[in-house]
């Protein structure tokens, strides 16, 4: 393996000086969404890996608020891609058996309904519920 020259090292260091954390976060979100789309089976030749899709969606959702102050007005396409990925995930989960254990209990102060368990949208798998 060849060692980089001093000129290459200096060029790399100059690039690192220009790089910002929010640039890395933005690129990370875009990478997560692209990888999530592949893991959802949305690209030719890929197969669905739903736990990976869920992790990509959850991670992108967690990072987006950090990007708002600097990139807020330019995040429309990123939010749209995230929405499409969430919909694809929800549709694919709706076609598979739901894991046992269900969702969270109702929030305190909420009156329990006559029916126990999640509502029809959530139990169908078509409702995106963060963290589930």
Task: Write down the pLDDT at residue 63.
Answer: 97
User: Which pLDDT band holds residue 12 (cuts at 50, 70, 90)?
Assistant: very high
pLDDT tens, residue by residue, 45-89? 888 999 999 999 999 999 999 999 988 899 999 999 999 999 999
Distance CA 82, CA 59 (A): 11
Distance CA 132, CA 111 (A): 22
Task: Write down the pLDDT at residue 115.
Answer: 46
pLDDT tens, residue by residue, 89-126? 999 998 665 444 444 443 444 444 444 555 555 555 55
């Amino acid at each position: 393996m060849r060692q980089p020259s001093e000129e290459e090292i200096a060029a790399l260091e100059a690039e690192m000086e220009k790089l910002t954390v929010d640039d890395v976060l933005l690129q990370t979100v875009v990478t997560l969404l692209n990888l999530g789309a592949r893991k959802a089976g949305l690209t030719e030749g890929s197969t669905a890996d739903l736990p990976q899709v869920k992790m990509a969606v959850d991670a992108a959702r967690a990072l987006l608020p950090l990007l708002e102050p600097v990139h807020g007005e330019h995040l429309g396409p990123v939010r749209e891609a995230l929405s499409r990925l969430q919909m694809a995930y929800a549709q694919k989960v709706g076609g598979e058996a739901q894991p046992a254990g269900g969702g969270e209990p109702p929030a305190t102060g909420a009156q329990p309904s006559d029916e126990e368990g999640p509502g029809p949208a959530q139990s169908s798998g078509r409702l995106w519920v963060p963290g589930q």
